[in-house]
């Protein structure tokens, strides 16, 4: 298999890079330091299709192929991983399940506002007691006439503080939560949908990751995505798509860390020589570039698999596993190359280092990715 970016992909990368550097670059460090969400920038992104990257054109989206989507997430994350995260969760975890499992009525009701960026999407699966193992979901959905009443607490909800539409994982069967698992589309204005405090995080600080409290939150039963009992399937297949965007995000962070390190090594002198003249530093740069290229190839393979067939679980898990661990290795080396300055907020690499770490945790930890990959390997006929 050989991946060569087309002219269309190259032009897209150039345009997104220019937007990211011009519009996000000037505020990227401040929004991280102040943990503030840049509404002014987000408002400019709506008309440019950022909030409907792969959504069908009939609903106002750009209907991009997966490699184009990965390029956009990579380029935005290269400048601000927290904004990359906002787009990744909105497009992959919130819009995608509506496009994939939604009824025509659900699509018409929810997609247009989301695609315009007027309602940012969130995905509410994690609870205090359920993380890697989602089968024991405790948020309860009780049928009452034509509505379900949701009660429970979701934690670590990306975009939680600014979301307009949330995809909520719950169970209709408290005794057998997995069997009764269901996914709901919930509008933020629904009474009983309460946004909690923003988490004080190590990285991704510009994203308002928050808790969501569901207190007798009455949701019409027509807002269920898929059939009752299909919640785990909807959730897991949505996360397959999400993993491609997290791999792209990790790749963007690593690319930024590499570029800063290359340039710093050509500026900084010690022992009357540029750092770039020391073979040890050259080895670091060579390892970083090789790691990044390997990650990019795995990512584009996963994108090609997503566009060509239904099952791409293994490719997505490998891309997410490799790119997130690669981003941790690359950002670690970037801090090392910058020496003491790498540990200071004066330079960007400490932000990349903090942001990279969480890509190994959300949307399935590295341990979970290894479980998925090994399960696929063992299920294969030799
Ligand atoms: C910044 C941020 C944003 C997030 N955004 C969202 C979001 O938008 N929506 C959402 O629903 N969630 C979100 N999450 C939650 C995230 O998906 C979970 O934190 C993640 O799935 C891990 O769950 P946990 O934290 O409960 O860890 P646990 O599941 O408790 O795992 C703890 C450790 O044990 C390991 N472990 C667990 N089970 C096994 C096993 N069987 N074998 C080997 N090792 C195992 C894990 O890999 C991990 O190392 C976010 C988290 C963060 C930090």
Where a domain ends, among 166, 198, 228?
228
Query: Residue 260 domain-assigned?
Result: yes
* Judgement on whether residues 236 and 375 belong to the same structural domain of the protein: yes
* Judgement on whether residues 240 and 208 belong to the same structural domain of the protein: no
Residue 197 confidence (pLDDT): 93
**Backbone angle region of 68, left / alpha / beta, with phi > 0 → left and psi within -120 to 50 → alpha:** alpha
Query: Residue 1 domain-assigned?
Result: no
Is residue 193 within a helix (H) or strand (E), and if so which, with residue range? strand 193-198
Structural domain that includes position 114: 7-120
* Judgement on whether residues 78 and 132 belong to the same structural domain of the protein: no
Our answer to whether residue 363 is catalytic in this structure is: yes
* Judgement on whether residues 194 and 331 belong to the same structural domain of the protein: no
* Judgement on whether residues 140 and 215 belong to the same structural domain of the protein: yes
Residue 380 confidence (pLDDT): 82
Residue 186 confidence (pLDDT): 98
Q: Is the dihedral of CA 133, 134, 140, 145 positive or negative?
A: negative
Tell me the CATH number at 259.
1.20.140.10
Residue 265 confidence (pLDDT): 98
Pairing between β-strand 163-171 and β-strand 120-124 as defined by DSSP bridges:
parallel
Query: Nearest residue CA, atom 11 of ligand 1?
Result: 125
* Judgement on whether residues 149 and 67 belong to the same structural domain of the protein: no
Query: Residue 318 domain-assigned?
Result: yes
Residue-by-residue DSSP string for 332-344: HHHHHHHHHHHTS
Query: For residue 37, how far is its CA from the centre of ligand 1 (angstroms)?
Result: 24
Token pair of 288 as six digits: 């970083």
* Judgement on whether residues 54 and 179 belong to the same structural domain of the protein: no
Query: Residue 367 domain-assigned?
Result: yes
Helix (H, G, I), strand (E, B) or coil at 91: helix
- The answer, yes or no, to whether any atom of ligand 1 lies below 6 A from the CB of 365, is yes
Tell me the CATH number at 66.
1.10.540.10
Residue 27 confidence (pLDDT): 98
- The answer, yes or no, to whether any atom of ligand 1 lies below 6 A from the CB of 361, is yes
- Residues β-bridged to residue 289: none
Given a contact cutoff of 8 angstroms between Cβ atoms, the answer to whether 158 and 126 are in contact is no
Where a domain ends, among 52, 85, 120?
120
* Judgement on whether residues 166 and 270 belong to the same structural domain of the protein: no
Residue 309 confidence (pLDDT): 79
Query: For residue 26, how far is its CA from the centre of ligand 1 (angstroms)?
Result: 32
Contacts of 72 (CB under 8 A, 6+ apart): 12, 16, 50, 53, 64, 87
Residue 285 confidence (pLDDT): 98
Radius of gyration of the chain (CA): 21
* Judgement on whether residues 237 and 175 belong to the same structural domain of the protein: no
Query: Residue 190 domain-assigned?
Result: yes
pTM of the predicted model, to two decimals?
Answer: 0.97
- The answer, yes or no, to whether any atom of ligand 1 lies below 6 A from the CB of 201, is yes
Q: Would you give per-residue pLDDT tens digits along the chain (382 residues)?
A: 657 789 999 999 999 999 999 999 999 999 999 999 999 999 999 999 999 999 999 999 999 999 999 999 999 999 999 999 999 999 999 999 999 999 999 999 999 999 999 999 999 999 999 999 999 999 999 999 999 999 999 999 999 999 999 999 999 999 999 999 999 999 999 999 999 999 999 999 999 999 999 999 999 999 999 998 999 999 999 999 999 999 999 999 999 999 999 999 999 999 999 999 999 999 999 999 999 999 999 999 999 999 997 789 999 999 999 999 999 999 999 999 999 999 999 999 999 999 999 999 999 999 999 999 999 999 986 6
Query: Residue 2 domain-assigned?
Result: no
Residue 382 confidence (pLDDT): 65
* Judgement on whether residues 281 and 254 belong to the same structural domain of the protein: yes
* Judgement on whether residues 87 and 101 belong to the same structural domain of the protein: yes
Tell me the CATH number at 192.
2.40.110.10
Domain count, the chain: 3
Count CB-CB contacts under 10 A for residue 6.
11
Token pair of 5 as six digits: 């970016």
Which whole-number Å values give the CA distances from 290 to 175, 300, 327, 355, 365, in the listed order?
50, 15, 12, 21, 23
* Judgement on whether residues 252 and 163 belong to the same structural domain of the protein: no
Where a domain ends, among 120, 140, 158?
120
């Amino acid at each position: 298999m050989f991946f060569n970016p087309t002219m269309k992909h190259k032009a897209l990368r150039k345009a997104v890079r220019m937007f990211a550097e011009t519009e996000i670059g000037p505020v990227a460090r401040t929004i991280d330091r102040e943990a503030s969400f840049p509404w002014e920038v987000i408002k400019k992104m709506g008309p440019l299709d950022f909030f409907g990257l792969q959504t069908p054109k009939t609903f106002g989206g750009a209907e991009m192929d997966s490699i184009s989507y990965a390029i956009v997430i990579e380029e935005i994350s290269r400048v601000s991983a927290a904004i990359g995260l906002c787009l990744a969760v909105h497009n992959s975890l919130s819009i995608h399940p509506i496009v994939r499992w939604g009824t025509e009525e659900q699509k018409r009701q929810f997609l247009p506002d989301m695609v315009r960026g007027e309602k940012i999407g969130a995905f509410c699966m994690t609870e205090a007691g359920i993380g890697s193992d989602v089968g024991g979901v405790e948020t309860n959905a009780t049928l009452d006439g034509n509505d379900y009443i949701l009660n429970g607490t979701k934690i670590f909800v990306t975009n939680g503080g600014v979301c307009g539409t949330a995809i909520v994982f719950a169970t209709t069967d408290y005794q057998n939560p997995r069997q009764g698992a269901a996914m709901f589309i919930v509008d933020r204005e629904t009474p009983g949908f309460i946004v909690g405090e923003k988490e004080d995080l190590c990285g991704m600080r510009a994203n308002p990751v928050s808790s969501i409290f569901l207190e007798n939150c009455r949701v019409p039963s027509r807002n269920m995505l898929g059939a009752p009992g299909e919640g785990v399937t909807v959730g897991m297949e949505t996360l397959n798509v999400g993993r491609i965007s997290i791999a792209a995000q990790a790749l963007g962070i690593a690319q930024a860390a590499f570029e800063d390190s290359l340039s710093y090594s050509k500026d900084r002198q010690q022992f009357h020589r540029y750092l770039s003249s020391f073979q040890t530093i050259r080895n670091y740069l060579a390892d970083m570039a090789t790691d990044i290229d390997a990650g990019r190839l795995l990512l584009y393979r996963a994108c090609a698999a997503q566009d060509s067939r239904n099952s791409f679980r293994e490719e997505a898990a490998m891309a997410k596993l490799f790119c997130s661990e690669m981003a941790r290795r690359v950002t670690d080396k970037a801090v090392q190359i910058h020496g003491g300055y790498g540990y200071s907020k004066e330079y960007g690499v400490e932000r990349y280092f903090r942001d990279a770490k969480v890509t190994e945790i959300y949307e399935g930890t590295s341990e979970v990715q290894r479980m998925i990959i090994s399960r696929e390997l063992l299920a294969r006929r030799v």
